[in-house]
Structure 1
Amino acid sequence: MNKKMIGKVMAAGLLTLLVAATQLGAMSEVSVAAANSIEIMVNGKKATPDAPPYSNAGRVMVPLRFISDHFQGKLKLSGKDITITRGDRTIKLKIGSKTAEINGKSFDLGAPSEVKYNRTMVPLRLINAGFGIPVRWDAVGQRVWVGEEKVLSLEEKGVKVGTYDEYKRYFGDYEDISKTKKVSVFTGSDFPVRFEAVDDKVTFYKIWTEQVNGLDVIKIHHSGKRFGIYFLTGDGKPRFRMPAELISLKNADGSYVDVYYVASSGDFFVGDIKDKNWENFKISSVKYIGFKVNLETTPLLLNPFTK
């Protein structure tokens, strides 16, 4: 199938968007916070702490021992008194106190340290001041960056590159989707990930599903160029989707939360799918989610929404 037809198929999604927008009306805000809990990124890699971070009275709380161990600190606990040494830095604090001592100088934590999930949790600001490690709280993405703030590409993550022929039954006649004839399949555990080419630069932070007034949608938090997606089910007929402009959101930091309807009338009215039951299409029917970005390999996400 040629590019002109693909364009028609993707444009057909606009019909679904306009109908849905009429049903939904205006939407006040799309929140990334709905995508579940706060994440910790350590030197560009998603970390799995032994206790989840959370917000307390406007302060982000992180597990102290996890950070200390990750950056080669030595932690000693005596009752409620904690002492951490790292290089030429010494941190002293008492569980329940709003102050700490860093190299003999008092430091205001902004909120008291506390025990939760059987772990000592401290305000994020202590990590920067006490350990000398850069930190940043991404309020939009609900993410804590510790250390070097970077996002790796699929290649840097070591994602295997396959050939187009291995996935031909999914693409069918739409061969020009995979211009390079190479395919990179990644999983939900690879997020966040960077897609970067000469004219396409996208940082892909998170993907999740929700229902908006009874309609199934996929939400993608990303920065950079906006893009269409497509669903591959194995029948050789990709189902194309474009962002629903009226309910997608551009955040204050320039990133987007783009919303894509799972079911689209374009699956019936345009192209060769002719699915009379298009309204009943479910994300569980999808094997791979593809992204219309111009990379050296075609990125496919193994559907993270199936059991």
Structure 2
Amino acid sequence: MKKVFTGLLLTSMFFVAFPADAATTQIKIDDVIVKSDTAPEQRSNRIMVPLRVISENLGAQVHWKDSQITLAMNKTLIVLNLNNKTVMKNDKTEQLDVQPYMKNNRTYVPIRFIAETFGSQVQYNQGTVSITSEPLLLDNKKIKALRYEYQMTMGGVIQDIKGNAYHKALYQVFQQKGNKVEAPKEYSWQINLDIPGSYSKRGQYRFMSDDTNTVKQFDIYSLNTAFPDELLQGHPHHLLHDVFEDSWYIFTDQAVQSIKQLINNAATNGFSTIISNTVA
């Protein structure tokens, strides 16, 4: 049976060999306290965390097959095995201080080795493990937050997504745009039920720098489908608007769902903050 987890992985997480009880350890990544329904554990003076926590919060891909776990990010590949201290790192064999294991149907892995291998700054101070990962750079500016906004019939919500790995993963999805197209004749936040082929804005995404200036902005629009199919032929279901370039592209449903999943993961794990909520 093969299970594959692709996605976010937050560059380098929790760490290390500390005398404190792992159950009381607080994890911070890029100044955000990580939420998890399962606390880290301590084995042989090393901090162990569930694989799911890594798969949702690290900038790598995680593949789990039988008892073998593969972590990949950039050009680095790690292969771990349950109940085995031998690990492969870029085709070179090394020995872990503690072996990965299964508990309560969850796979636990040693964070120190993963953090050091994928390269991040890690500090420990009074029960808090703080990890600082490399930020996303756009136009030579460090991205501090992704400001996501969506509107509903009776108001809207604005939230900031923190975490460098989330920024990188989301930006990568926006780069998966399709063919360039002309701007639709009718598009806005509101659903227009009078014009076939009109589009409504599904969400607005602004990559913001440390000085809170918007460096890049992408808007996703969806086709209003409250019309007979014959009137909608030739109209892509989703469009991506690169606002700074004022260019329009076909966008796939898979890309839209990937963005939705990443934002949901960010909210679940504590990386999303509501700035404004005017929904009645």
Q: TM-score, normalised by structure 2?
A: 0.37
Q: TM-score, normalised by structure 1?
A: 0.34
Q: Which protein has the larger Cα radius of gyration, Structure 1 or Structure 2?
A: 1
The structure with more strand, counted as a fraction of residues: 2
